[in-house]
A = this chain, B = another copy of it.
Amino acid sequence: VKKNHPGALRRIVAANIRRCRKELGISQQNFAYDIDMDRTYFGAIERGERNVSIDNIERIANGLNVSPHTLLQCVGESADCISSEG
């Protein structure tokens, strides 16, 4: 098991949330509204700027209709998964 550098996971989560939301074809604003989350806060989560909590991961995953653990998985397509940032 490789150890990520600190903070890598939140960028993976951010990229996964953004990708899943776009696959649903819904805007940040509308999605945030649907899950009753402040749109500014949700935007910051998608940019990896927020240390999102497990309860909010659950809420977002439910809104995206995906299993929560998939939002933490590193998918090959995402640059966030492989960057090392020296």
Contact = CB atoms under 8 A, between A and B. Distances in A.
Interface string A30-73: 00000000000000000000011111011101100111111111
Interface string A1-38: 10110111110010000000000000000000000000
Copies of this chain in the oligomer: 2
Given A13-B54, A54-B57, A57-B9, A68 B62 contact: no
Interface residues of A, number: 28
Contacts of A73: 69
A66 B6 contact: no
21 contacts: A1-B66, A1-B67, A3-B62, A4-B58, A6-B55, A6-B59, A7-B58, A8-B58, A9-B58, A9-B61, A9-B68, A10-B54, A13-B54, A51-B54, A52-B54, A54-B57, A68-B72, A69-B71, A69-B72, A69-B73, A72-B72
